[in-house]
Amino acid sequence: MAIFAQTHTKPAPTDHPVHELIRERWSPRAYSDRPVERPVLARLFEAARWAPSSSNQQPWSFIFGEQGSSGYQRIFDALVPFNQGWVKSAPVLAIGLARKNSANGSPNHYALYDLGQAVGLLLVEATSLGLAVHEMAGFDAEKARTNLNIPETHDLGAIMTIGYAGDPNTLPDALKERELAPRTRNPLAQFVFEDAFGEVANLKRA
Ligand SMILES: Cc1cc2nc3c(=O)[nH]c(=O)nc-3n(C[C@H](O)[C@H](O)[C@H](O)COP(=O)(O)O)c2cc1C
């Protein structure tokens, strides 16, 4: 089976070689109606489970809902209208949460950082399975908290779609244009420094 058996792919035009799982990951807005089987979902959360975390506190949790379920609707209802517009074709929605405090009650300042790492591994696993995940910050956090019964002990990360990328032609024109637009990133010289902040690293040396 081809790993990247997607309707549309957008490999990153990298300046340096990277692993194909990193090159091929992207955030589509069009999804096929192919469901995501439970063992596949389990693999994604298993990948998240093995992320590193500060003092191995594993502050993350996830709530997911399958299309047609009350959980899906609860997550969907918290999204801003722009995201609701395209998300409706995705078979699974999920939200990542981070437990705010350590076991001793002191704030864990790395909780959201660790959640981000866990989601990063989930994204890599998803890519390896030909799945696509699209994260979203465009949602009403208080609505999500209420709808999903999320306690104040937890911070909200991002909502994400999980599914198989679909045909960009199913999107309205403006979104289709974005779906097909080239991917861009800042150059390394803008954010990788050597020896001190602002000192551009020479990464060309052998
Ligand atoms: C924390 C976070 C929040 C995001 N919020 C939204 C969002 O609300 N709506 C949306 O369409 N895309 C959202 N995105 C997707 C980004 O726009 C996308 O990752 C970025 O443009 C890079 O594209 P790529 O993931 O295809 O490389 C979000 C991504 C992240 C990581």
DSSP codes, 36-53: --HHHHHHHHHHHHTS--
Residue type, 98: A
Tell me how far the alpha carbon of residue 26 lies from the centroid of ligand 1, in angstroms: 9
Check residue 6 and give its pLDDT: 58
44 to 30, 119, 136: CA distances (angstroms): 20, 9, 18
Tell me how far the alpha carbon of residue 44 lies from the centroid of ligand 1, in angstroms: 19
Whether the predicted pLDDT of 7 surpasses 90? no
Whether the predicted pLDDT of 206 surpasses 80? no
Check residue 2 and give its pLDDT: 46
205: pLDDT confidence band, cut at 50, 70 and 90?
Answer: confident
Ligand 1 contacts CB of residue 27 (under 6 A): yes
Whether the predicted pLDDT of 50 surpasses 70? yes
Ligand 1 contacts CB of residue 167 (under 6 A): no
Check residue 5 and give its pLDDT: 53
Check residue 1 and give its pLDDT: 40
Percentage with pLDDT > 90 across the chain = 94
Cβ-contact 78, 142 below 8 angstroms: no
Residues linked to residue 97 through DSSP beta bridges, in sequence order? 61, 156
180-201: pLDDT as tens digits: 999 999 999 999 999 999 999 9
Average pLDDT over residues 129-158: 98
**More confident call, 34 vs 7:** 34
Ligand 1 contacts CB of residue 135 (under 6 A): yes
Mean pLDDT of the chain: 95
Best mutation site among 23, 79, 84, 135 for ligand 1, i.e. most ligand atoms within 8 A of its Cβ? 135
Cβ-contact 109, 6 below 8 angstroms: no
Q: How far apart are CA 191 and CA 182, in angstroms?
A: 21
Phi, psi of 79 (to 5 degrees): -70, 150
Among the four given CATH numbers 3.30.470.20, 1.10.287.110, 3.30.360.10, 3.40.109.10, the one describing domain 20-190: 3.40.109.10
Q: Are strands 92-99 and 132-136 parallel, antiparallel or unpaired?
A: unpaired
Residues linked to residue 96 through DSSP beta bridges, in sequence order? 62
Phi, psi of 59 (to 5 degrees): -75, -5
Closest CA to ligand 1's atom 21? 27
Closest ligand 1 atom to Cα of 27:
26
Average pLDDT over residues 105-130: 98
Residue 19's contacts (CB-CB under 8 Å, 6 or more residues apart) are: none
